[in-house]
Structure 1
Amino acid sequence: MSRLPTGIHETLRWSALTLAVAILMIFLLAQRQSVDVSYGQSPSGQTITEGSAGELGDATVPSVEEMTALVAADPVVRLPGAIADWDDARVSAIIGDADVRILVAPPGLDEEERDRVNDVENATIRVIGTNVSGGFYQAVSTDLESWRGQFATGDVTGLLVVLIATLTDQEKPPEVEDFSWRDPTPAELDAVAGDLRTTGRHVADGATLTDVPRQAAANAFPDRTVRVVALPQQPYGEPVPNYGPALAAIFPGEPIVLQYGNWVEYHGPAADEFAEVAAASFYGQFSDRLSEYDYPQGNVLGAYLNRVTDVRYAGLFDRPLPYQPFDPLRVALPALPWLFAGCVVLFLALSVRSVLRGANPAGQRRNTLGHSTVPARIAGLTALAVELSALAGGPANAPLTRGIGKLQAARAALHEELPDRHVHTLLNDAEDELDATARLVGIDGYRPDVYLRSRIAA
């Protein structure tokens, strides 16, 4: 490395430093933090005001005074638009002789309307949508069966029973499953299957789905076309038509997503493997908002499909992952610190020569005996070149010729009164070439440092 010509040496040295700085900047810029955007929120960096995601409905509630009067007159008050329902016998049994008053409000109220409902002090329990709260407590579902009844039929029986038992210091009674399925009638099945064959979706009367979120569906099932069935919230206490198994038999190997109100379920390829995981993850995170707000079914469907995509990207159940483009930076990022360190080491190693040269003015590091004038160096190296020319032959001719050329250029630069630094740079290169010639000839006495020192001693 120390025998590189000065120009190449300096170029390589500063290139190593520049590359090290560039690698450092790339690595630092790559260390940015990312934001995980969840359901109901805007894309990263934006703020969405309440209502812009379609979660607020058209229903309103009376004033606090009016609702207080209604609750005082009746232990159960259902405001217009309320969707929650329950088993009267079970709830009455747990209430017993206690004075428990229930105010039931519709979903999708804005903050001001929710505050009015919560300000009704004589209401023991408040139900907004299917969100059940009372006192300092809120009752929540914790399993798929409870969520299915809550979001498919508006059933809040279990939530009311648990909350009333807590408020009245009673033991929690055993859970009872009120939800039940039935096989769809041939007419019902034909109507749904016919729409799925022609348009890929069936939207029943009362459902709020307007369009299938195509991008979310493509991400969740990139190798299939998703068929969607959207139904409104089903009547409480009546068996619900179970379209899933029948449609899976009619459309084998194709993904089918069904919506019963805000309840979403999947039937089709690998349903036994990941459907429950996706549903539990989805409702475990979003059940609180779905119970209180009035999201359109398209929003709910899009969020569910995104969760299916998350499950597939997690690599669970050996499901094929959606395509992820190759990212060179992500692949190279672990190697960047090592490349940076290598460039720094190279720069420091090359800097040793420059530091040693800087110890003498104008790059005169080679003249160790104080003969720093340009003419003296030209004379000494010219004499060395003459003696080497009598001995050189074969491979030694090339460096000797280059060295003589550098000496001629140095003499011309001196004659034209160019700066000494430029002349010494040419002499440094000539000395490198003459040193290489001496090594090829095999006579150490003709190496520049040794030869010049002997001339001065003589």
Structure 2
Amino acid sequence: MADRRWPHYARWGLLAAAVLTLVIFLTQQAQQNTHVSYAESPASSKSVQDGTAGTSGATVPTTDEMKTMVQASPVVRLTGSIATWDEAAVRKAIGKADIRIIVAPPGLTKDASSRVNEVSNASVRVVGLQVSASGRTASPSDAPGWQHQFGTDDVTNEMLTMIALVRHQPSPPDVAPLPRRDPTVAELATATASLRATGRYLAPGATLANPPETTKAFPGKPLYVALPTQPAGQPLVHYGPALAKEFPGRPIVAIYGGWIEYDGPSAAEFSDVATASFYGQFGDFLAPRSYPQIGLVGAYLNQVTDIRYAGIFDHPLPYVPFDPLHVTLPALPWIFAACAVGFLVFSIRPALHRNHPSGGAGLPARLAALTSLAVEVSGLTDGPSDAALARGITDLTTAREAIDQDLEAKFIREALDSAQSELDSVAKLLGRDDYRPAAYLPGSLA
């Protein structure tokens, strides 16, 4: 008796396994809100945006006094202002329009900044390196723009953008990178000697004081090269590559006024990312303010540390324990398909040896042929085709049970027609015309 009934037990056991597999798979699909964390960055939480840093104590006249000054002159530069621009290009952009410009120093208090903004007869306002007009602000969006703005105090492109806004004209194109030149033999020798002695080189006019000797931002002790704001329009002395040859394997941080560059280990991989991340996040905040170079370097090193601890570059990956579910989850659809096919195989075995009464001749053979097609395509399906295959298998199961229970041929035929339609959809989704029932089944069943 046991030998004769084992297909019955196997059939329903496979069905139970298929249902259980489907439930597990669908449950896991509903739990995909995963939080991934690399490691908590050890960078200091202090930011250039903390507190009231960036104010310089600079003062400006009263609003009425500034209005009088602007009325008397198309360009008013207040004491302490630092912004420069190509005057010929700006005059050409203004043309015959009555556009008046007021330029204020960086680091103004909130009250002083408000007084500048209230100068109603000024078309364009420049506070530090921030250029605004008509309630809008012009900001660089790439490295060459930030390089001009923070490395040379040149806001020509921002001025032209705001003038175009006031005159309702198209904005100018983005600026090209500053030209470069290698350091002279004397310049390189001076910088190299200072770096060997102290780990830093401060050119006359630079303000970098006591940069950190070690940092989580880079492996090894970094070297610092600090220069004052560079003259606009002149080539930038490219210290980084030259010093990288003199100090192989050492991180080199070069700062030109407010523009920071990195050369050394992994520079090709993350230098551009660090620059875009730092100035993209803090550029608009820094432009109207006054920060010492040490404050900028500290914030830059924190930003680089955060980037490296995000797991993007050469920081070692954390240990991840083995997750059996993560490994087995992709196999669940295949297990479901195998169980479903096994269930169908055990279900149709009795039907292969008899025909259904009441006009149902040939239906078991059609069921067998469609089941064979379902087995063929089960190893190829994924995504939307999986759903169509599952519906087709359900229809075939319904037809098999109807045959076993001697139901009307019309009911069996409807189930088989539905299954054939679903398997046709599977073939279309797979792009396999040879697996469409019309081509796969014998001509009498197509």
- What pairs up with 1:54-453 in 2 under 5 angstroms? 55-177=54-176, 179-214=178-213, 217-221=214-218, 223-317=219-313, 319-321=314-316
Amino acid in structure 1 at the alignment position of 2:200: R
- TM-score, normalization by structure 2: 0.60
Whole-Å Cα distance in 2 between the matches of residues 89 and 299 of structure 1? 35
Give the counterpart of 1:40 among 41, 45, 48: 48
RMSD value over aligned CA atoms? 2.3
Amino acid in structure 2 at the alignment position of 1:229: V
State the shift of 1:41 in Å: 4.7
CA deviation profile, 1:181-240 (whole Å, cap 9, x unmatched): 2222222111111111100011222222111134xx42112x311000111111112222
- TM-score, normalization by structure 1: 0.58
Amino acid in structure 2 at the alignment position of 1:234: Q
Q: Is the 8 A contact 2:258 2:293 kept in 1?
A: yes
- Residue 230 of structure 1: SS of its match in structure 2? strand
Whole-Å Cα distance in 2 between the matches of residues 321 and 305 of structure 1? 19
- Residue 220 of structure 1: SS of its match in structure 2? coil
Q: Is the 8 A contact 2:144 2:177 kept in 1?
A: no
Whole-Å Cα distance in 1 between the matches of residues 274 and 316 of structure 2? 15
Which residue in the other structure is 1:412 paired with?
none
State the shift of 1:37 in Å: 4.5
User: Where does the alignment leave 5 or more consecutive residues of structure 1 unmatched?
Assistant: 1-33, 43-47, 332-458
Ranges of 4+ aligned residues in structure 1 off by more than 6 Å: none
- Residue 226 of structure 2: SS of its match in structure 1? strand
Q: Is the 8 A contact 2:145 2:174 kept in 1?
A: no
Q: Is the 8 A contact 1:178 1:237 kept in 2?
A: no
CA deviation profile, 1:386-435 (whole Å, cap 9, x unmatched): xxxxxxxxxxxxxxxxxxxxxxxxxxxxxxxxxxxxxxxxxxxxxxxxxx
Which residue in the other structure is 2:331 paired with?
none
CA deviation profile, 1:34-54 (whole Å, cap 9, x unmatched): 999562355xxxxx3x2xx3x
Whole-Å Cα distance in 2 between the matches of residues 267 and 218 of structure 1? 15
Q: Sequence identity, in percent?
A: 49
- Residue 210 of structure 2: SS of its match in structure 1? coil
Look at both structures and tell me which one has the larger radius of gyration over its CA atoms: 1
Amino acid in structure 2 at the alignment position of 1:67: M
Q: Is the 8 A contact 1:231 1:260 kept in 2?
A: yes
Amino acid in structure 2 at the alignment position of 1:76: V
User: Where does the alignment leave 5 or more consecutive residues of structure 2 unmatched?
Assistant: 1-39, 322-446
State the shift of 1:241 in Å: 1.2
- Residue 292 of structure 1: SS of its match in structure 2? coil
Whole-Å Cα distance in 2 between the matches of residues 101 and 72 of structure 1? 8
Which residue in the other structure is 1:400 paired with?
none
Whole-Å Cα distance in 1 between the matches of residues 262 and 159 of structure 2? 29
Whole-Å Cα distance in 1 between the matches of residues 58 and 204 of structure 2? 20
Q: Is the 8 A contact 2:145 2:175 kept in 1?
A: no
Q: Is the 8 A contact 1:59 1:108 kept in 2?
A: yes
Q: Is the 8 A contact 1:213 1:301 kept in 2?
A: no
- Residue 216 of structure 2: SS of its match in structure 1? helix
- Residue 138 of structure 1: SS of its match in structure 2? strand
